[in-house]
Amino acid sequence: MVDRRNFLKYSVLVVPGIQLAGCDGEESTNAQFQAWPIDTTSVATTAERQILPRALPAGTPQIKPAEVAKYAQYGYSAWQIGGGLGYEIRTELAPAYRATGPSVRLLRFFAMTDIHLSDKESPAQPLYGDWSAAYGATPSGGAGWSPAVVATTHVLDAAVQTINALHTKKPFDFGISLGDNINNSQYNELRWFIDVLDGKTITPSSGAHAGAETIDYQKPYKAAGLDKSIPWYQVIGNHDQFWMGSYYQNAITQQAHVGSVILNIDSSNMEQEFERPAFYQGVVDGSTPYGTVIGAGPQADFASPPTVVADANRRSLATSTSSSLNWMREFFTTTSSPLGHGFSQANLDQDFACYSFAPKANLPIKVIALDDTVGGLGQNLPQVVYARAALDQKRLDWLKAELDEGQLHNKLMIIAAHIPIRPQKTLDPKSGNYSLFVSPPSVVGDTQLLDILHNYPNLILWISGHRHVNVVTPQPAPSGKGPEFAFWEVETASLRDFPQQFRTFDILRNSDNMLSIVVTNVDPAVAPGSPAAASRGYAIGSGRIFSTPAIIPPGDTTSHAYNAELVIQLSQTMQTVISQLPV
């Protein structure tokens, strides 16, 4: 995994001290820990260079997802550096676009999403289905096992270091995480996320901390931390608050989090998986170089239930009365800014995960952070899987009030939510659109919500994650309304699964006083031999082995990035407003 030459080249020692599971908010000073610095010479956006999977030769043996040692042997995890990806200029929402002179940057920010920091040793994670799958099986959509789970914190740390390096070249005004920071609503997972951004010492293991002294991905390390001059904000996702992003926590899952017995469910039957124990789900053995899953298999194969060392820091953040309150509280234990990372005491008092903020002084723009996950504890809706979108009346009324305020005071508006509203299935407009809102419990469907949003000409952008893809969808103005009632919808891929990218956004005022939203994907820079570098290969390899035709076909050598300049036509009022902004 890490040879001596690469270890000496890229690792440094620091003296903050261990913080087991990154949970207590304090650090001692009695030990030294390595860091995992990135290769700064490889810091670039995909407009400059791309990470490209290598094609698999004809006749490559088909291997199982769990045969991780064979990924490199047969070329599944191989990648190379390619040239830059150009920008597609999209003007279909701005028919009057006539810009000829230079543009002025109004706002620059980054967004990351679906990081899925995973306590891979937790007995509450459902690993067995993906671990035991055959070649070409359908994966669990970011919720289950992938070989990339061994180094999720390291990939986040590499992304943060890449952001810092880009910030020195062209400063960011802020950053935002669009949800699913964590995989299974666990306390230690969320502390890892906040502590990586705060630059604390990370112990990326739990329970017995197997391999913490010998295995690179298990060793405690010092995270770099986000540049303190960059404020960052947070949106809630379904995995942040629900068991594996799909169900409210119940007595079985709550006990599995903090207990020692590995979860036993029928993972082949989502309708009754908790009612019919059938398969022990397993945990990752951190003392193995590739993260072998142990304690997994049919119940009949075990004379007694498989167990692990229990860990109270694995507790679920969800309770019987709230899936979001404890999660929001953790953002107030931080050394980066702003305190709460968007959430306020009012959010805690009302247990309400929506807010808005002004990202830049003297700029008439607001960001609306919207919780559009399925919500409502106590609902008798057994058929609802919570990895869907919904708005109850309170959130819908709040959203309309925020939009009304922005429109009244001549502010441009961006909605940041975890789940997209009605995106194209792929980048190809002919692929059709994908409906993610579920009713009930949502009081509006996506068509109804779009009808509401198209009443606000100052809404320019909806940003989201959730689907782990880089897709841009135009949401044109309805018939009879001017083009200023249109907006763009931009999705960003996951930091866990291929292509492991985040995105930058540059909002520019053009010479004709229309706006361009320049969206650029970024591959986190990694150092050879690091856990983050290994994770990149694992993400590519598993992307070829799972559902091969749908994810990375054998001959696919594309980066799965998408860079574009999205032109938006403003109302005459807003054209006048932005024309008067200082350069």
Q: What is the DSSP string of 248-286?
A: ---HHHHHHHHSSBPPEE-TT-TTTTTTS--EEEEEE-T
What is the per-residue pLDDT for 513?
92
Query: Kind and range of the H or E element at 531?
Result: helix 531-545
- 521 forms beta bridges with 503
Residue 166, phi then psi, degrees to nearest 5: -65, -35
Report how far apart, in Å, the C-alpha atoms of 67 and of each of 326, 425, 507, 538 are: 38, 31, 45, 11
Report how far apart, in Å, the C-alpha atoms of 215 and of each of 204, 208, 282, 289, 576 are: 11, 14, 20, 6, 59
Contact assessment for residue 493 and residue 469, using Cβ atoms and an 8 Å cutoff = yes
CA distance 92 to 475: 10
Q: Return averaged pLDDT per consecutive 10 residues of the chain, 583 residues in all.
A: 33 37 49 90 97 95 96 96 97 90 94 98 95 88 85 98 98 98 97 98 98 97 98 97 90 95 83 79 97 97 98 96 96 98 98 97 96 72 73 96 98 98 94 89 93 98 96 96 97 96 97 95 97 97 79 90 97 96 81
CA distance 473 to 494: 18
> What are the residue ranges of helices labelled H in 310-392?
325-329, 345-350
The length of the chain in residues reads 583
Query: Kind and range of the H or E element at 187?
Result: helix 187-198
CA distance 357 to 366: 6
CA dihedral 252, 253, 255, 259 (to 10 degrees): 120
Contact assessment for residue 377 and residue 248, using Cβ atoms and an 8 Å cutoff = yes
State which amino acid sits at residue 274: F
- Tens of pLDDT along 321-364? 899 999 999 999 999 999 999 999 999 999 999 999 999 999 99
Q: Which two tokens stand for residue 501?
A: 């990218």
What is the per-residue pLDDT for 10?
35
SS3 for 2-30, per residue?
CCHHHHHHHCCEECCCCCHHHCCCCCCCC
Q: Beta strand 232-234 with 264-265: parallel, antiparallel or unpaired?
A: unpaired
CA distance 569 to 583: 20
Residue 12, phi then psi, degrees to nearest 5: -130, 160
What is the per-residue pLDDT for 277?
85
What is the per-residue pLDDT for 510?
94
Please list, residue by residue across 138-170, b when 16 or more beta carbons sit within 10 angstroms of its beta carbon and e when fewer do.
Answer: ebbbbbbbbbbbbbbbbbbbbbbbbbbbbbeee
Residue 413, phi then psi, degrees to nearest 5: -135, 140
Report how far apart, in Å, the C-alpha atoms of 580 and of each of 104, 488, 510 are: 12, 24, 13
Contact assessment for residue 27 and residue 200, using Cβ atoms and an 8 Å cutoff = yes
Extended strands (E) in 21-141:
33-35, 49-53, 79-83, 88-90, 104-112
CA distance 583 to 580: 9
Contact assessment for residue 123 and residue 308, using Cβ atoms and an 8 Å cutoff = yes
Cβ within 8 Å of residue 177, ≥6 positions away: 111, 112, 113, 115, 193, 232, 233, 234, 235
Report how far apart, in Å, the C-alpha atoms of 474 and of each of 86, 432, 491, 510, 512 are: 19, 12, 12, 19, 21
Contact assessment for residue 257 and residue 124, using Cβ atoms and an 8 Å cutoff = yes
> What are the residue ranges of helices labelled H in 314-459?
325-329, 345-350, 393-408, 446-453
What is the per-residue pLDDT for 28?
46
Is the N-terminal amide bond of 499 cis, ω within 30° of 0? yes
Q: Beta strand 232-234 with 174-177: parallel, antiparallel or unpaired?
A: parallel
Residue 407, phi then psi, degrees to nearest 5: -70, -45
Contact assessment for residue 296 and residue 131, using Cβ atoms and an 8 Å cutoff = yes
Domains of the chain from N-terminus onward: 4-579 (3.60.21.10)
Max alpha carbon distance in the chain (Å)? Answer: 75
Of the candidates 514, 512, 535, 506, the one whose C-alpha atom is nearest the C-alpha of residue 523 is 535
CA distance 184 to 140: 13
